Structure 1
């Protein structure tokens, strides 16, 4: 675990053994990076043109790469740590490829590699490195905010999204390509090394995803963190029970939004004060002036337990994957206030499935917009019915997602990998993958055949004409 980790803490030492390693990036560096990304995404992006947005994301991405490579150095350039890993008799490397170099560690230890992964923009990593098929005609690129039912114009947008993101990622990965090649002393690439992963555990499922083709080594295990609701703390239970038949609303914008501008918090509080439900709001900022008697603010809430409470009528969420899956697990309709990253796209999935309404932007949302959204998901029974339908799909599986994840990790350990599930596409060139060489060959053959056919036709026509002329002269 890096000593610069912001969210990871060395706890539960009875279950895990942690090994610290030094990195040049400090926790404050990571916090500053996240603050910059969040502020830009929420408060600045709407005022810039597309080129300015992409340039800013490229700048932010470069900072992320530098921090990522410092993590690589912390592991790979520590002889003591690498010796411990080599002598540890490990059987598998489990990693989130959001940070690189787990592929190098797996190669150095000569053990299989399992990824646990949420997504990459436009599914670039999954497509380019994992060879996951994604026809742009009906597979919307991640973060495109499109559904699988696209109009002609939307299919153009989706195709352009893929075509733009792919070269952008290839250029952005050059730093990793050079790092990997330098480490191994031979030409290789980040994508090539990622493609060696035996299993990809994708943290979504068909209750969330649109139907699409996938590969035998891609396993969808969304909701693996979800559990049945436990009893609430006594004060929360009393507050929930005091709501009567109106019920409660759970409100959280995630762990990264601890505070917000006062005018924004006042806007939200004034909207919540207008609904008959009791509201439990996770918020660490200053108490809003417009806070109603029906709303209580907590610095932390047992979100999963609240969503599983029988009094819960709706969930106001930023659209993070974990929160959405807890709502799906318990069958709770959602009102989405997306902030950045994958959140707008996640909520588009839920809206398309009839389980959510979405606010356009936290800066432009008015109190009445939020009130209308809450009234819709609470009073229109279709939202609850659709949320319960997704919940049934989530639970109606031959094996729960956590056990499935464990099974595939142990499967890889027992069988020393899962290369029999790895498609041959990894060993094909881009033109072989798309059969362009086959098309070129067939077109060439067809051209030759047509050329010969037309030449023969011309020959016979000319011969017939010549005979006709000779016959005419004789007469």
Structure 2
């Protein structure tokens, strides 16, 4: 009996091995949310029995010791260098910290995007110096069927060519990427879809639409994709913009039950929520230390501004007001993710718990946590949506502004501006509302129920489409011709001009005919 069972298991193993595909997932070693999302992509495929390698192109060395996968064990690194480490540390402490006080307007945001593009130039140059890593993949791994990478990781296209991988699937860890969407043939209009330098939501005033339109065309001029050459031939241009439309699918970190509705291509697959496994996370329990903290008072509020926008760089006026507001809530414990041991600005505030690290998902899953004050990063927005947790959204930069509006429209959260952090009445009113307005908690739970019962789960969508792409390759039938249309063709200006010309011609004929008839009648009358 045991022999038969072993033989059966052996046969099943051979069958499953034969049907498994080989995926290379390229992940950026910079930015917690990006790395987490790509790690979940890799794990989803590994959990389904496929062979997955994660190629982490480190942009900062400190990400080498961090693990963003669980079931995927084959992790390969392209190491960073001192120049990249210095550049990214400077961006974190200087470039990002300025957005605590700046509006984050169109003109203020442009230098940050240009800085990112310059950084990727250096990343690609560093990859050229580490081709032995790719050579090892060629030699020691089976030939990959599909490469999956974030759309802004342009160097992954060079990796695809170098390793001769037939199929690629681009991914965005944000809700949308305007330029990339256009290259794929997806309709992108500034009348309803905010761009890189504006984040207004989908209902805009005239002034917002005007600003958004200027931003849209400015983005087309400024945000050019790099002009690189291939890794194997420095004289051959690397296809980036001209190649993206060939992808059989595009995975975007958007969920139709959270995001603003908009027209999408059939090849655009919404996998927002992939990073949140509610059942698994609900099974997580906080340790004894956090357990005691959650039991201290009737209400507990978590405060975190993510990994890139550190609270230590928050202006002193914001910190002082924060402490003043928190002190006024005697029955509320505030857990504040703060990256320094120097918390002297909060002396006498015994209801504030500072911590450099917090078990965010375990805390969100705990019913004793009453609310979450967050910067509106997409990872946090997805997590609190799935857990049905009331929230205060305080966006600082870029897509966080859109994320805040996106979630606030479901009425389970409150949106404030970063400048409100210095206003005692506004901040206190927001915290009081999110804690004691029962309708907010009710709406947050309603959204969580919809997400829990959505017809197709994000993980299933990703795996099925990734498998289909590996099996059948590029789908030319899904290539939308919008990307080839000129401005005149897309907006039917030539058709409108033609119909208008005919209409004018007919009107002229009618006018001439009527004029002749009137003239003839006048002549008859005279006769």
TM over 0.5: yes
TM-score normalized by structure 1? 0.84
Kindly indicate whether residue 253 of structure 2 is the aligned counterpart of residue 199 of structure 1.
no
Distance 1:135 1:281, change over 3 A: same
Note if contact 1:173-1:190 (Cα within 8 Å) is conserved in structure 2. no
The CA distance in 2 between the partners of 1:266 and 1:461, in whole Å, is 85
- Structure-2 residue corresponding to 1:16: 74
Kindly indicate whether residue 289 of structure 2 is the aligned counterpart of residue 235 of structure 1.
yes
The CA distance in 2 between the partners of 1:444 and 1:188, in whole Å, is 45
The CA distance in 1 between the partners of 2:421 and 2:336, in whole Å, is 20
Matches within 5 A, 1:68-83: 68-75=120-127, 80=132
Offset, 1:349: 2.3
The CA distance in 1 between the partners of 2:324 and 2:293, in whole Å, is 20
The CA distance in 2 between the partners of 1:137 and 1:103, in whole Å, is 32
Q: Which portions of structure 1, spanning 4 or more consecutive aligned residues, are displaced by more than 6 angstroms?
A: 180-189
The CA distance in 2 between the partners of 1:69 and 1:159, in whole Å, is 33
Distance 1:304 1:369, change over 3 A: same
- Structure-1 residue corresponding to 2:304: 252
DSSP 3-state at the match of 1:2: strand
Return the match for 1:410 from 455, 464, 467: 467
DSSP 3-state at the match of 2:302: strand
Offset, 1:71: 2.5
- Structure-1 residue corresponding to 2:435: 378
The CA distance in 1 between the partners of 2:184 and 2:129, in whole Å, is 27
- Structure-2 residue corresponding to 1:125: 179
Deviations 1:417-467 (A, max 9, x none): 33333322223333222222322333333334444444444455555656x
Kindly indicate whether residue 86 of structure 2 is the aligned counterpart of residue 28 of structure 1.
yes
Aligned length: 456
Deviations 1:30-70 (A, max 9, x none): 12123333133222447xxx6xx61x433333322121122
Flag structure 1 segments of 5+ consecutive residues without an equivalent.
none
Deviations 1:233-292 (A, max 9, x none): 11111221333xx23211211112151355533432332232212222221221233352
DSSP 3-state at the match of 1:95: strand
The CA distance in 2 between the partners of 1:363 and 1:217, in whole Å, is 41
- Structure-1 residue corresponding to 2:417: 360
Kindly indicate whether residue 213 of structure 2 is the aligned counterpart of residue 163 of structure 1.
yes
Note if contact 1:6-1:31 (Cα within 8 Å) is conserved in structure 2. no
Kindly indicate whether residue 262 of structure 2 is the aligned counterpart of residue 212 of structure 1.
yes
- Structure-1 residue corresponding to 2:202: 148
Deviations 1:281-307 (A, max 9, x none): 221221233352222211111101101
The CA distance in 2 between the partners of 1:234 and 1:79, in whole Å, is 47
Flag structure 2 segments of 5+ consecutive residues without an equivalent.
1-55
Kindly indicate whether residue 100 of structure 2 is the aligned counterpart of residue 42 of structure 1.
yes
DSSP 3-state at the match of 1:179: coil
Distance 1:115 1:3, change over 3 A: closer
DSSP 3-state at the match of 1:259: helix
TM-score normalized by structure 2? 0.76
Kindly indicate whether residue 273 of structure 2 is the aligned counterpart of residue 223 of structure 1.
yes
Note if contact 1:114-1:197 (Cα within 8 Å) is conserved in structure 2. yes
Note if contact 2:392-2:414 (Cα within 8 Å) is conserved in structure 1. yes
Offset, 1:94: 1.0
Aligned residues: CA RMSD: 3.3
Return the match for 2:167 from 112, 116, 125: 112
Kindly indicate whether residue 54 of structure 2 is the aligned counterpart of residue 5 of structure 1.
no
Offset, 1:7: 6.2
The CA distance in 2 between the partners of 1:448 and 1:395, in whole Å, is 60
Deviations 1:128-151 (A, max 9, x none): 32333345454455664434344x
